[in-house]
Structure 1
Amino acid sequence: MVIFFTGGLNFNPAIIPADLSFTPNATSEQWLADPSITNTVGSTITVTPTTEGVNCYTYEFIDNFGCTYTDTVCITVLPEITNGVPSGFVICDPTGTAATVDLTTRDVEILNGLAATDFPITYHLTQSDAENGVGAITTPTAYTNTSNPQTIYAAITDSTTMCVVVESFDISVGSAAYNTVPDIDLCDDPSNDGFEIFDLTSQEAGILGSQSAMDFAVTYHTTQLDADAGINAIPNPTSYVNVQTPAETIYARIESVTDATCNDTGSFDITVSPTPIANIPMDIIACDDVSNDGIATFILSSRNSMVLGAQNPADFSISYHSTQADADSNTAALTSSGYMNAGTGPETIYVRIESVLNDECYNTTSFLIRVDPQAVFNTAQTINLCDDTSNDGFEIFDITSNETDILGTQNPTDFTITYHNTQMDADMNTASIPNPGSYTNISTPVETIYVRISPNGNVNCYATGTFDIEVSPTAVANPVTDMTLCDDSSNDGTEVFDLSTQTATVLGTQLPADVEVTYHASQADADADTGSLALNYPNTSSPQTIYVRAENVNNTDCYTTTSFDLILNPAPTIAAAADLQLCDDPSGDGVENFDLTVNETAILNGLVPADFMFTYHTSQANADADAPSIATAYDNTSSPETIYVRVENINTGCYNTTSFDLIVDAVPAIATVSNLEECDEDGDTVAIFSLSDRESEIINGQTGVTVLYYASNADALNNTNALDENSYSNTANPQTISYRLTNASGCYAIGDFIIEAVAAPMVITPMDVNNCDDGTGNAIADLAPVTTQVIGTQTGVTVSYHESQADADNDSNVVASTYAYSSDTTLFIRVEDDNTDCVSFTTVNLIIDPLPQPSLLSQYVLCIDNNGVLLNGPEVLDTGLNNTDYTFEWFLNGAVIAGSNSASHDAIEPGDYEVVVTNIATGCDNSTTTNVRQSGIPTAYSVDVTTETYAVDHQIIATATGPDEYWFRLDDGSYVNNGVFNDVSPGLHNVTIAERSGCGEIIVEVFVFGYPDYFTPNNDGYHDTWNIIGADRLPITTLYIFDRYGKLLKQLDTVGPGWDGNYNGQPLPSSDYWFKIEYEQDGRKGEATGHFALKR
């Protein structure tokens, strides 16, 4: 039960001074503690009283003046009814679904010792009817069920407290049904005699299914005939020993405890499965692979026959597991056809053997699996010996010298190594070599030795391998002559000698494939075969001794040595030569005659000329080869052209080279230069010229050249009286200007061009241009007529318009001839002579004339009555403008209104109106539109209460039709446009139907019948009684009031004050109460029920 508290404080005016008022505020409020309070949320508590009688709860309130207030709520807990639970009716009728029973035979079970006079019992068809005490079965002693099964509800009422308890039971009509159950399979004991003790009653719940053991009994028999007759039932079904093996059939009979003819039978088998014997198998021992990781693959199923022994494999299945628990639970079975061990040492494998008929019948055993290490033969090197002086190909070998390599990381004490002459001897471990430390080869030059390595712990895990022994011949180094070279031009004392040119002499008749020749800087390096020199070897001194080693490629220990010297002669030390440079002759062919010998003294740089010889060449290759050479008086073939000089020492034949270039400098090229014109602004045929404006044409892409300007050709040739290239005033018109073009080598050329002063175009300042606003604050100007004003009859000129003088000066940002502008604007006009590029400037002003701005409302309304008579017209459509400055033209629905040409128009017809206004001064026009519509009160309407009389929630729907849209209001609420009002309170209401523009309204009165949700009979003058609202408006109205158990408390005349909350003169507690009203409305009788709350 949930209790909530609300409250306020009222003070006696007598205790408050006349001039003093105050409002106390809560500083603390709470429910006082009680063990039956199970939850508290703010001022709301949930209580669960555990004792009968009155249980009271106190709420405490303390204000900011220290005053404490309390209020107590009491709940009366009535005694609990200690009834019993009734059993159902099970009627055996194989052919029917209905039966007649005496429901009152369940009274004794329900009363459970209670007095029938104090606790009357009624039977009902629904839980709700039983709880509300209505719809009781009128013939409980002979009731026939209407559905199968059917639930009956019994209501037990305490006649003192009126408390009610409802119990239920079923009526079922049908026959006994045997439900199929699975067979029972037991494992045989260790005797394996095929007999075991069975509990047949373990099948009973399954046989019964949903049938109650109180209604049906189950017996067990050894034949079908006994089960059908219900005789010779097995006397000890909980401990029955089978009489047949391995399987026996048991026959069960299910029979109604009240009707032996209502029965059914069925059967199931009991089976005894043999328990297998798990024989102990042999362990499995495997050799590891070469990884020696302790892991191998085991075929566990190879132990199946050992585990089975003499048992038939078809009767049993075998699985292998890593733990005893897995074997017992038959989980995590290992792969029996290829199981890989964990590699952590010996491992126990657990075997499960089970019956194929019953997997609960099993046994287990175990065995070990182990991986022994595998011997590993590691690669051994060939043992190679140099032949002695006999060169017979045989030597004495210590073949045990490879044992460390063969074993690798394996412990020598764990293994035995033997040596053999064949693979078969090694595999069979027979005919081992008896003297491996001093073994003489029996074949030459190469012999194979076969090795067997066996673990001392398990000789089966052995390995074999081979290596070769070889006898090699000794190489001979034959003597060679010294090598001589000239130093290069650097004379650094070092040159690269090709030592490989000595190799053929060193080898003599020996084959290069058999003997390797290497070169060394010392005898020690040659003997140690270290520091081998590159075949292209730069000497470190002159002379320098080189030591040669010739060795057998198959055995580097078999070698001999010899030596020779490297000798290096110096090259002539010469100086670099300067380039020879000449200007081209007037022919401009780029060819001149050069004396090549002018550089010889500089090249020798102090050397004695008699010791050296000069030759000249056109390539470095020719100079190095000393052929072919060229004449010392030489015409160049290109510019620049490189000449290569060879200077050779006639005593040693050593030479050096240098080079220089022959350069013929070309004169600058003279280009065609256009005339240079400047505008003559004052008409005196003189202008100031920037002669450098033609510099790019004169240079014409050449680089490294300079330009000077002269008044005559003679001044240009003599390079005198150069002119100011940036500011020169002409002395004649036109005038020829000469220029001198000089390149970086000092070669020059002379050219000229014409300068001339020309006149500028004439311009006329145009009139201002006026345009009407286009309605967006902008206007568009056509500049073509302006151009005609500016240039008059001139031709050969280009006119452009710009938004600034700077743009006009630069001839940039030209505006279009159709120009849009948003405010009064000045454009700058550029007029340019197409032939001379001379320019003149002027301006034009662009003006925007504003549009007229007529103003009308978006809509006007003409109110009419239901006969179409105008009530408020005409409506004046006033533009707000005057007739002096503007002209007006009015339209209705697109048609001109004849005679309407004023600033306003009186509208008496509905429709779409438009007015076109023109400014008389500027000619600019504009228009605006409005709409005039007719409206009035509705021509038809309705206001209806759509819900049933005395419904819990009420709805009113108002509708209206007419010339316009209508709005609806309930009482003094807000207007809505759909006329639907929900949750309307009972009583009298006014519904207003109003035209949306104020053309009138209709008020309709409507009454809603209903009742209040609660009343508070506290004699405080507020809600002290409860009655139906509006019942006085209905004839023949009777009102009944009931408590929550359906007990009639009061029958009222609805025209009176109503119910005061008393029963037999005593006030009833706060609770929910029910009512029923019988009424007549519009000639139709009706009944309504509901409930309300009594609050104290």
Structure 2
Amino acid sequence: MAFIITPESNNNDEDYDFAVYGPNVTCSTLGNSIRCSSTNPPAAAVPTLTGLSDTETDLSEGPGAAGNGFVRSIDAIAGEEYYILIDNFSQNGGFDLEFTGTALLPDSPQNDAGPNNNLNLTECDVVGNPNDGITNYDLESNTTTIIGTQTNTIITYHISEEDASLGNGALASPYLSTQNRQTIYVRIENTLTECFIIDTFTLTANLGPPIITPTPFVLCDNNDDGDDANGFVSFLLSNKDTEILNGLDPTDYTLTYHASQADADAGTGIIDKTTPYINTSNPQTIFVRVQENTGLLCLNTVSLELEVDPLPAANPLSLVQCDEYNDPADGISLFNLNEAVDQITGGTTDRAVTFFEDLTSANAGTPSITNTDTYQNITTNQQLFVRVTNNANNCFRISTLDLQVSVTSANNAFLSICDDDGIEDGFRTFDLTQANAQVLFEIATPNLSVAYYETINDALSESNAFTMYTNSTPGTQGVDIVYARIEDNLNQCFGINQVALFVNPLPDIEEVSEAFLCEGASVIIDSGLESGNSNDFDYLWSTGEITERITVTTAMDYTVTVTNQLTGCFKDRTVTVKTSSPATITTIEINDASDNNTVTINVNGSGTYEFAIAYNGSNIRTYQDSPIFTNVPPGFHTVYIRDKNGCGPETTQDISVVGFPKYFTPNGDGFHETWNVEGVSSQVLGNSIIYIFDRSGKLLKQLVPSGNGWDGTYGGRLMPSSEYWFQVKLGDGRIRKGSFALIR
């Protein structure tokens, strides 16, 4: 036995060492090595190979530079067992181990089944739950095929590869699988050499035909057995075949129905599926068996629920309508059939209710009455048929609805209200329930109720009922009519009557007014009535007086309530009486001798005042609310103040506004012949002095404002057209300077 250890690394420093133990020792008691080499190739200057060789004589070598990496081969006997320890001292990589002696490993056994002989086993799932994929298998059925022509070979079956490698836990048949599509490991071992290989095959459980559990077989209860409420009906079970097979070819399978799971498993107690089967309980579970007709004859079973749904309640009923449609005595009217629904169904929700004129249509479900809210009966005391369907299961029951026409009636009524909602547009919202007492007056029938509608058709069909209603015709232009429908507690019509609605206008008065009371006087105030005869109204003042007009002497708020004697509608008026008086001037502020003269008049008084100025003796006055006047021309003027509320007398005062003309024209035409200060007289600022200069500052004239002014001469000589300068020392101490033009 010889071998060569070749490092996989090309590194020249690679250093592999080895030792061989044996023969026939154990891993735990190896003893001393019989061959070993620890030569370091770089130190010994030899290749990095090491091992056993027939050409060597030494049994061991090394360490370091000692040796060449090889020691003598071993003379071995077939069947002996040796251990080889290989150590990589340099830790650079792996190695290849090549046996080069005459000893050979014995041939391994093989799977004679070959790659094309499928060893996988398939069985019907007949153990326990038929749908869990766990069943029994005869593993040894594969043994003969695996061994083939081999001798000295044994076969064992295992649950894992580890067990197969160690020869542990061999399985016996019949073997119960642990899952569907389970892998089994087979150990094929030569009994002489103990060499073995491991192969696999798969256990697959046939779950039977891939049928499905059908949906419950649900039928509505019926009267076939004389009782449509006992929960027993006839089922034709074959109607479920196609659903259960779920696309399988029915010719490949046999499908049977059974009363118990045991019968289904055994194939006994078959129920005839071609004849009606009456359930024995509600609900009832029966069982379905489906078996293959060929092959392994595997089968599968499922359950089928038989259920009987109850029919919905459908109570017979009479619906009474008033004869208010067209001819009120012909027994023909309009019926809102929907009003009967709650009583027919007992108030149960999730019900569809349809109406028919004959029983055949009701059973077929068509044609139904479509105008259910305005159905006109064909004959008096007509009977309709009502089909009540449970929307959850589509089961239905048929009942009757008798249509009757009432000849009773209640009272017409009227409601009248004032247009006092603050808008006075002739529209008001009526609480129609206030007419109930009039509508039901002196009617002895108990338990009557009243509902209101806008039209007679709405009242007949009981559509769009309301209690609060706003009239559509303004109160001054007409009357609105609504309809009161009277019913008993069984929803039967007792009568349909009219209710007239009136909106009465409020008195036409001016609601707010003012009056002014001059000091020491009295004033007459009135109700402010703007239309209508004053004798048709009542008056009540806050003073307790009841006449249309009263005389007052005190400033305050006075109220009067004006009431229409016919309608009782009223409206309040407030008159605010204020005092007023002539104005008293306190000061007049004059800002003059400027380009923009202003006058401000300050007054006292309880009135509201307006102001005017009459300029230079004129009697022309333009009044304004502001006491301030601007751009007032110079001169002597009169100020006027009057009370806008009419209290007199008017207050006046004369004023003087000082100003300087911008030019004069001494040309003999009688206009602007001299230049002088305006608004100054011997009585007003009489001690004022005026100085006139030419452009060089030479004094040409000194004069007083009360004189005739400067005529444009100096020393008897006419002065030329030019600009001249002046200085005025007014009598109140003010000094003003400026210029003016002499134009010839």
> Normalised by the size of structure 2, how large is the TM-score?
0.53
* Distance in 2 between residues matched to 1:882 and 1:700, nearest whole Å: 62
Task: Identify the residue that residue 766 of structure 1 maps to in structure 2.
Answer: 412
Task: Identify the residue that residue 832 of structure 1 maps to in structure 2.
Answer: 487
1:815 counterpart (466, 472, 477) = 466
| 2:644 aligned with 1:992 | no
| 2:703 aligned with 1:1053 | yes
Task: Identify the residue that residue 842 of structure 1 maps to in structure 2.
Answer: 497
Deviation at 1:484, TM superposition (A): 0.8
Alignment of 1:931-970 (within 5 A): 931=576, 935-938=580-583, 940-947=584-591, 950=593, 954-970=597-613
* Distance in 2 between residues matched to 1:819 and 1:917, nearest whole Å: 26
Alignment of 1:17-166 (within 5 A): none
* Distance in 1 between residues matched to 2:90 and 2:291, nearest whole Å: 66
Deviation at 1:508, TM superposition (A): 5.5
Deviation at 1:992, TM superposition (A): 1.9
| 2:99 aligned with 1:469 | no
Q: Deviations over 1:154-197 (max 9, x none)?
A: xxxxxxxxxxxxxxxxxxxxxxxxxxxxxxxxxxxxxxxxxxxx
Corresponding residue SS for 2:731: strand
1:1090 counterpart (731, 737, 742) = 737
Across the aligned residues of Structure 1 and Structure 2, the Cα RMSD in angstroms comes to 7.1
* Distance in 2 between residues matched to 1:797 and 1:1030, nearest whole Å: 97
Corresponding letter in the other structure for 1:895: T
Corresponding residue SS for 1:896: coil
Corresponding letter in the other structure for 1:805: I
Corresponding letter in the other structure for 2:119: T
Name the CA shift for 1:1042/1:478 in 2 (closer, same or farther; >3 Å).
farther
Deviation at 1:1007, TM superposition (A): 0.7
* Distance in 2 between residues matched to 1:670 and 1:964, nearest whole Å: 92
1:1038 counterpart (661, 675, 689) = 689
Unaligned regions of 5+ residues in structure 1, if any? 1-388, 401-418, 422-432, 450-467, 490-499, 511-535, 539-560
Higher deviation after alignment, 469-478 or 927-936: 469-478
2:625 counterpart (977, 1001, 1009) = 977
Name the CA shift for 1:605/1:802 in 2 (closer, same or farther; >3 Å).
closer
1:398 counterpart (10, 15, 25) = 10
* Distance in 2 between residues matched to 1:437 and 1:1060, nearest whole Å: 151
* Distance in 2 between residues matched to 1:578 and 1:915, nearest whole Å: 91
Corresponding letter in the other structure for 2:679: G
Task: Identify the residue that residue 30 of structure 2 maps to in structure 1.
Answer: none
Corresponding letter in the other structure for 1:765: N
Does the aligned pair in 1 maintain the 2:252–2:293 contact within 8 Å?
no
Name the CA shift for 1:909/1:1005 in 2 (closer, same or farther; >3 Å).
same
Corresponding residue SS for 1:786: helix
Does the aligned pair in 1 maintain the 2:419–2:505 contact within 8 Å?
yes
Name the CA shift for 1:436/1:996 in 2 (closer, same or farther; >3 Å).
farther
Corresponding letter in the other structure for 2:702: L
Name the CA shift for 1:910/1:882 in 2 (closer, same or farther; >3 Å).
farther
Identity of matched residues, % = 16
* Distance in 1 between residues matched to 2:287 and 2:486, nearest whole Å: 61
* Distance in 1 between residues matched to 2:386 and 2:516, nearest whole Å: 93
* Distance in 2 between residues matched to 1:1065 and 1:438, nearest whole Å: 151
Alignment of 1:587-606 (within 5 A): none
Name the CA shift for 1:857/1:846 in 2 (closer, same or farther; >3 Å).
closer
| 2:657 aligned with 1:1011 | no
Does the aligned pair in 2 maintain the 1:484–1:568 contact within 8 Å?
no
1:484 counterpart (119, 125, 137) = 119
Name the CA shift for 1:754/1:1076 in 2 (closer, same or farther; >3 Å).
closer
Does the aligned pair in 1 maintain the 2:411–2:440 contact within 8 Å?
no
Corresponding residue SS for 2:438: helix
Q: Deviations over 1:691-718 (max 9, x none)?
A: 99799859999999x999999xxx9xxx
Corresponding residue SS for 1:808: helix
Deviation at 1:836, TM superposition (A): 5.5
Alignment of 1:823-972 (within 5 A): 823=475, 824-835=479-490, 837-854=492-509, 858-861=513-516, 868=520, 879=529, 886-889=536-539, 891=541, 894-897=542-545, 900=547, 912=557, 914-931=559-576, 935-938=580-583, 940-947=584-591, 950=593, 954-971=597-614
* Distance in 1 between residues matched to 2:595 and 2:658, nearest whole Å: 10
Name the CA shift for 1:1004/1:470 in 2 (closer, same or farther; >3 Å).
same
Corresponding letter in the other structure for 2:640: T
Deviation at 1:829, TM superposition (A): 0.9
* Distance in 2 between residues matched to 1:397 and 1:486, nearest whole Å: 48
Task: Identify the residue that residue 336 of structure 1 maps to in structure 2.
Answer: none
Alignment of 1:205-224 (within 5 A): none
Does the aligned pair in 1 maintain the 2:666–2:712 contact within 8 Å?
no
* Distance in 2 between residues matched to 1:991 and 1:399, nearest whole Å: 132
Does the aligned pair in 1 maintain the 2:676–2:709 contact within 8 Å?
yes
Corresponding letter in the other structure for 2:449: T
* Distance in 2 between residues matched to 1:869 and 1:956, nearest whole Å: 34
Q: Deviations over 1:562-604 (max 9, x none)?
A: 9989899999999989999999998968999999xx99xx999
Does the aligned pair in 2 maintain the 1:797–1:834 contact within 8 Å?
yes
Name the CA shift for 1:436/1:978 in 2 (closer, same or farther; >3 Å).
farther
| 2:440 aligned with 1:788 | yes
Deviation at 1:820, TM superposition (A): 7.7
Alignment of 1:710-749 (within 5 A): none
Task: Identify the residue that residue 60 of structure 2 maps to in structure 1.
Answer: none
Corresponding letter in the other structure for 1:1028: V
1:630 counterpart (236, 243, 266) = 266
Does the aligned pair in 2 maintain the 1:946–1:955 contact within 8 Å?
yes
The number of residue pairs the alignment matches comes to 555
* Distance in 1 between residues matched to 2:667 and 2:343, nearest whole Å: 122
Corresponding residue SS for 2:412: coil
Q: Deviations over 1:707-730 (max 9, x none)?
A: 99999xxx9xxxx99999989x9x
Corresponding residue SS for 1:845: strand
Task: Identify the residue that residue 674 of structure 1 maps to in structure 2.
Answer: 315
Deviation at 1:1011, TM superposition (A): 2.8
Corresponding residue SS for 2:496: strand
Deviation at 1:886, TM superposition (A): 0.9
* Distance in 1 between residues matched to 2:197 and 2:412, nearest whole Å: 114
Does the aligned pair in 2 maintain the 1:758–1:836 contact within 8 Å?
no
Deviation at 1:795, TM superposition (A): 0.4
* Distance in 2 between residues matched to 1:825 and 1:471, nearest whole Å: 115
Higher deviation after alignment, 753-762 or 796-805: 753-762
* Distance in 2 between residues matched to 1:485 and 1:589, nearest whole Å: 51
Task: Identify the residue that residue 32 of structure 2 maps to in structure 1.
Answer: none
* Distance in 1 between residues matched to 2:257 and 2:465, nearest whole Å: 73
Corresponding letter in the other structure for 1:958: I
Alignment of 1:378-777 (within 5 A): 391-395=3-7, 397-399=9-11, 446=88, 468-473=92-97, 479-481=109-111, 482=113, 483-486=118-121, 504=161, 629-633=265-269, 641=286, 643-645=288-290, 647=292, 655=296, 657-659=298-300, 663=304, 665-666=306-307, 669=310, 673-679=314-320, 760=406, 762-774=408-420, 776=424, 777=426
Task: Identify the residue that residue 456 of structure 2 maps to in structure 1.
Answer: 805
Does the aligned pair in 2 maintain the 1:480–1:506 contact within 8 Å?
no
Deviation at 1:830, TM superposition (A): 0.8
Deviation at 1:980, TM superposition (A): 2.7
Corresponding letter in the other structure for 2:269: A
Corresponding residue SS for 1:1052: strand
Q: Deviations over 1:788-846 (max 9, x none)?
A: 32x71110222112223343234344333898886422121111121353453221212
Does the aligned pair in 2 maintain the 1:572–1:647 contact within 8 Å?
no
Name the CA shift for 1:1041/1:655 in 2 (closer, same or farther; >3 Å).
farther
Deviation at 1:1054, TM superposition (A): 3.8
* Distance in 1 between residues matched to 2:714 and 2:49, nearest whole Å: 139
Q: Deviations over 1:985-1026 (max 9, x none)?
A: 4333332212113445333221112335x4488979887976
Does the aligned pair in 1 maintain the 2:218–2:307 contact within 8 Å?
no
